[in-house]
Structure 1
């Protein structure tokens, strides 16, 4: 019977993998066609031959002249996003069967770092290749547009009574604006946190932030030059004031463009590192001007032209509204561990149906500290090890985090209720690190937090023996001995693990801890290194942390994307049929362009709000009915532990710690080096394994040193991955 079950399971796995391969092929073809459209969009072939044919087939009274751009630029990405949801849902069904056992694929060399220091940060060969290809697309488009526009330039100049260079300047300004649209078409994908498109290609929103920054700099450079060209042109032709104040109802609205550009410049100015790091809140709140930018951009170019950049923003709008719905719920904060190194671990109640992978992150809001501020933190828990808890570690490095630590450290062990809201968690679609034979995790300071989730995940996997787990080597650097208390978070709060005690002998874990500034353990450090566990009273209105769209979130997201898009088409179709067409007749010369754009924006908002709200409420109700209430659970007695025995080889007077076999196993696996820094060249050279994953998380210079060794190393078995959550 067991062999029959295994054969059936094997056949099911093969069928799912075949379906995923077919979807990959189909979406690859669609995306290549989409890129081909962008390549050809700047040529006369596209405008004089392709577009007239498409226009003749799509110029219906139902949707009007914007049908051609909707079909060519919008529909392919919407289709990819929906099919990606199906692809990811099938991936969840594969579970551990979807993890490859080895890491030596032909693409691994392309994942090696090639640029380490510089404005771009750590860049792999793959990233550099795609960046150069994208820049080549921009350069080709500029050349192609100018080549077509400059051909009849002398005749146009003579007909308009202008100098040739003035007409060339006007053409250059138009070209820069058109090419800037290419950057704008892709700029929202990296910041769509729950994006199926990102997950399809193995990316997360955290790792893609730098792509958003690159695209933002390129877009604003092009749009700024676009504006300067026209301002110069209007100045030279003595029509500056007339053109600057022109709001055309049928053609291009200059005032709308100026408002959009101003909003973009403010966002751009506050996004540079020197301002973003020192005044993060200024950067964060000014970025809400993207709403002003997008709305007036659409008014400036008209909705038909805006369809070229619509799909990225459309998917972002769905994701943003789902995040808004999720953030309105108050979640159940069960306990907190307060560390003497000014760090805290928050433990939230979680719906058992919520599954996430290691290195995920959550955005947290605590109204008693700030009603407006949301901050991202790495998840330290494992959904397999802790089915009813999700945890994050927060280091007191800023004003908000210091206030949280101060609030919790001054709170009584049996404290009252603490309100909190979350967005997320967001993370990779699959635990890619499981494919390696050995994992080397290099961290500095609070950079250890994503590695805690990896260690917990592998401890859980090794205890269940469902898949072969890699060997683990954690190299962590801290400034002071008191920071070693963070290692105590490798084990979850005792009440949060419902399973049997962990057997550490199943996992090969070695920890090398380096304390860089202290050369010896001081008595006051040992006496003060007490970790206090706080338990919070529960409120009946609080809910466990749950996925915004439930356990089948990818299927629901695909339904929301496709359903809302259909509703939008129906709404704008009815508006066109019975309101716009009787006035305009598909001429685009009678009905106000901004009014038409406003109708489209309103239709999109209605479609997104209706479908996302229905999906969220339906899944929220199902999640509530399946979750055990937490209101009347008994509050355990407060506890304190001391990890100072890491330095004494495990001798301690605490009976609780002596009895804790997992804690003793952690101590035995840990070697502490006082007053030293890790010699990465020696450590990595000694690591054995056919496939070695090298993960670096922490300060920029530390990650660069690790990347530099992996780049220059002759060992092909080292596979570098940088984890950075710094905006």
Structure 2
């Protein structure tokens, strides 16, 4: 027998690298120009020279006088970056970026990536802090420039005092500045975004940017509304009753802000307000349209929706009453809708790109969540923790630390909860797993459901995702120190499994791994059993230098109940369930780029035809006859139609391909083995000894009644590059960040993995 011929050498990726570098250069240039527009926007050069010339060249009977210029200046650059980013990420899938090493652990941006703890912002790197301060400087620059130019035009006029005119001007300019932050608000929460990965960001890690921007947006818009209320009251354009109403609203909002841990806010609404008759013509706040084409009522409704949404986002409300936060957060739909009706579609198109990309992502998530996913089994741990194992196609790959959102209709039809994926798509090509700790009401219901032997025979579930970084660079370090608390160990399980695959299957050198984990009780130690999957793990992993230091903080010694059987639950399959597959197939980034471009083209075609043959004959680009609100509603309608047409076509095209693979997987799986037709537990007596459990146990050192000394563990490491990954309670993350940012050890590179926001 002759040995099989060696596999052909892998194709050179130098061409892809050159193309990617060229694409990134173009993206950087376009993004720099886009930011320059925001800097120049409040100046006379932009409004008088640049914008006037652009409008003169883009005025048409298809898009009016102003719309074409807005598309060209603010909408097209962002969509162009998004589409180019899709091509960039598609080419990156062919490169093994996650297996690239740094140069002796030396990083040009190492100093800038060191963590800084800022009260109110949490743990941020110096790069993040620098960009945050530059963004604040941009806001201040715009406010100062707008007011300086606007106030210079105000002179004493009959019937209006100078301070009143300045207040009116300040209210208007605050609204313009608020649109800057609003334009960036939806980028961080677009989970399948092509914009975030090209800048090395993930949607989960970018949630904090969304929180910062949300506070800035609603602070500015609240000041915008207050200034107008004071102005209307001073100029006798506001009835007495509405003065009282607005005073009550804002007082209650800020009382709730400072006392958000109580429910007294909801009782304050019982205060009696005596409504009096008033002349409608004297009250500008009740007019849908004034002489500037702006709808006051729509603006008030938008602000009211934003305020209700805002007050439920503060940590004390969000953590103690998550369901209230979850449901009220959907008021963003009313907030954006009335915002567009308030200012008209032309000016709203400035913030349109971010929201447009978010809507595409949201609709694709909706399509993905309509179909149930095949839940194969669950491991029920004695520490009120379960591991859910879903079937997936082999073509679905994801990097370590990815997350996915899960919905279980039998618990809640509306709630979706994010969980970290604990499996490796390379180690287990046909399964995807998550670990869920019973800490909240939803997760406790799930655990109780699975812990009862006679409660369920099958469990319906839907999934959105997975979502993760475009690439990881864990292999660039000589040592990985993973520090976790409680269920914070979940992202590290996926990293360890990926490293096991790299070292044992690919025979590549991997960094040593030191896992420092703290648990409250000894029963929580069973979470470490999930490091090795039920199937797919090698018989041993001697090539991986794994050391686990486990601390049990609330017990002085091992308990007799520490070793409790971990039960494996097998679920009956359903013909309607299918393995989890990529929603847009293997070439998902190319499909996303096609959907972004084609949906916007469909929108432009529809709105161009409507404007040319219906709106233009009415007002001839004067924008004075045809209702601005009606125009905005039509734009929103056709924008949604374009998204539905393009995204549905892409989804259905890939669904047919995924269906063929799903049938093949079901045929290979066959019937789920069960001891009897009604049995829920299959091989329930199978202990973890059937796995290479001894290899794991040899790596674990358990300490009782103490907490880890992080300074000793980190400062004693002499490797040239030490990656410090932390996931767990806020206090633990801050302690590790302080150590890494102290400057006493230059070889420590900190990265916080936080899912608590």
Calculate the TM-score normalised by the size of structure 1: 0.94
Distance 1:635 1:657, change over 3 A: same
Q: Does 1:503 align with 2:545?
A: no
Task: Judge conservation of contact 2:379–2:387 (CA < 8 Å) in 1.
Answer: yes
Partner of 2:149: 148
* Distance in structure 2 (CA, Å) of the matches to 1:417 and 1:141: 58
Deviation readout 1:500-547 (Å, 9 max, x if unpaired) = 734311211111101111111121333xx2110111110111011112
Instruction: State the secondary structure of the residue aligned to 2:176.
Output: helix
Alignment of structure 1 residues 178-197 onto 2, 5 Å: 178-197=176-195
Distance 1:659 1:391 in 2: 19
Answer yes or no: is 1:175 the counterpart of 2:173: yes
**What residue number does 1:204 align with?**
202
1:438/1:688 contact within 8 Å kept: no
Instruction: Compute the displacement of 1:636 (Å).
Output: 5.9
**Contact conserved, 2:477 with 2:723, CA < 8 A, in 1?**
yes
- Aligned with residue 514 of structure 1, among 551, 560, 566: 551
Q: Does 1:450 align with 2:507?
A: no
Task: Give matches, 1:12-411, under 5 Å.
Answer: 12-65=12-65, 66-96=67-97, 99-102=100-103, 103-114=105-116, 116=117, 118-154=119-155, 157-158=156-157, 161-241=159-239, 242-248=283-289, 251-411=293-453
Q: Which residue of 2 aligns with 1:549?
A: 584
State the secondary structure of the residue aligned to 1:338.
Answer: strand
- Following the alignment from structure 2 to structure 1, what is the Cα–Cα distance between the partners of residues 57 and 546? 64
Tell me the C-alpha RMSD between the 2 structures.
1.8
Contact 1:150/1:168 (<8 A) preserved: yes
Q: Are positions 1:581 and 2:595 aligned together?
A: no
- What is the DSSP-based 3-state SS (H/G/I as helix, E as strand, rest coil) of the residue aligned with 2:698? helix
My pick for the range that moved more, 664-673 or 244-253, is 244-253
Q: CA 1:555–1:2 in structure 2 vs 1: closer, same or farther (change >3 Å)?
A: farther
Q: 1:462 aligns with which of 503, 506, 522?
A: 503
**Per-residue deviation, 1:626:** 2.0
CA distance in 1, matches of 2:591, 2:689: 48
Q: Please give the alpha-carbon distance, in whole angstroms, between the structure 1 residues aligned to 2:495 and 2:689.
A: 26
Matched, 1:666 2:696: yes
CA contact (8 A) 2:340 2:348 kept: yes
How much does 1:455 deviate? 0.5
Partner of 1:726: 756
Q: Aligned partners of 2:477 and 2:698: how far apart in 1?
A: 24
User: Unpaired segments of 5 or more residues in structure 2?
Assistant: 240-282, 676-681
How far apart in 2 are the matches of 1:58 and 1:346? 55
The 1-side partners of 2:5 and 2:629 are apart by 66
TM-score if structure 2 supplies the norm length? 0.90
Give the secondary structure class of the aligned counterpart of 1:571. Answer: helix
User: What's the counterpart of residue 266 of structure 2?
Assistant: none
String of CA shifts for 1:24-43, please: whole Å, max 9, x gaps.
Answer: 11100000000000100101
Cα distance between partner residues in 2 of 1:151 and 1:449: 59
Change (3 A) 1:44 1:247: same
State the Cα distance separating 1:109 from its structure 2 match: 1.6
Return the alpha-carbon distance in structure 1 between the equivalents of residues 475 and 367 of structure 2: 34
> Which deviations, in whole Å up to 9, do the C-alpha atoms of 1:395-450 show, x marking residues without a partner?
0001111111111010259x622110011111111122222111110000000001
SS state of the match for residue 169, structure 2? helix
Alignment partners' CA distance in 2, 1:137 and 1:622: 48
**Structure 2 CA distance, aligned partners of 1:484 and 1:98?**
31
Q: 1:425 aligns with which of 418, 441, 466?
A: 466
Say if 2:381 and 2:526, in contact at 8 Å, map to a contact too.
Answer: yes
Q: Which runs of 4+ in 1 moved over 6 A?
A: 1-4
The 8 Å contact of residues 260 and 296 in structure 1, kept in 2 or not, is answered as yes
Q: Structure 1 residues 302 and 96, CA, compared in 2 at 3 Å: closer, same or farther? A: closer
Gaps of 5+ in 1: 642-653
Corresponding residue number in structure 1 for 2:723: 693
- CA distance in 2: counterparts of 1:265 and 1:402, whole angstroms: 32
Q: CA deviation at 1:467?
A: 3.9
Q: Given the superposition, is the C-alpha separation of residues 658 and 348 from structure 1 closer, same or farther in structure 2, using an over 3 Å criterion?
A: closer
Answer whether contact 1:657 1:664 (CA < 8 A) is retained. no
Q: Is the contact between residue 355 and residue 551 of structure 1 (CA under 8 Å) also seen in structure 2?
A: no
Structure 1 residues 97 and 509, CA gap change in structure 2 (3 angstroms): closer
For 1:104 and 1:328, how far apart are their aligned partners in 2? 47
SS in 1 for 2:415: coil
Looking at structure 2, the residues matched to 554 and 657 of structure 1 have their Cα atoms a distance apart, in angstroms, of 40
Residue 586 of structure 1 and its aligned partner are, at CA, apart by: 1.1
Give a deviation string over 1:215-269, Cα, whole Å, max 9, x none.
Answer: 0111101000000001100100001142110111770110000000000000111
User: 1: distance between equivalents of 2:531 and 2:70?
Assistant: 52
The CA distance in 2 between the partners of 1:230 and 1:410, in whole Å, is 59
Does residue 1:605 correspond to 2:640, yes or no?
Answer: yes
Shift in Å, 1:726: 1.1
- Contact 2:97-2:473 at 8 Å conserved across structures: no
Q: Quick check: 1:434–1:470 contact (8 Å CA) kept in 2?
A: yes
In structure 1, what is the Cα distance between the partners aligned to 2:30 and 2:712?
47
| SS at 1:510 equivalent | strand
Which string of whole-angstrom CA distances, capped at 9 and with x for unpartnered residues, describes residues 601-656 of structure 1?
Answer: 01100000111111111112101112324373332663457xxxxxxxxxxxx9x6
Q: 2 CA distance for matches of 1:306 and 1:434?
A: 45
After the TM superposition, which of the residue ranges 505-514 and 95-104 deviates more from structure 2?
A: 95-104
Of Structure 1 and Structure 2, the greater helix share is in 1
Change (3 A) 1:98 1:471: closer
- Separation of aligned partners in 2, 1:135 and 1:666: 49
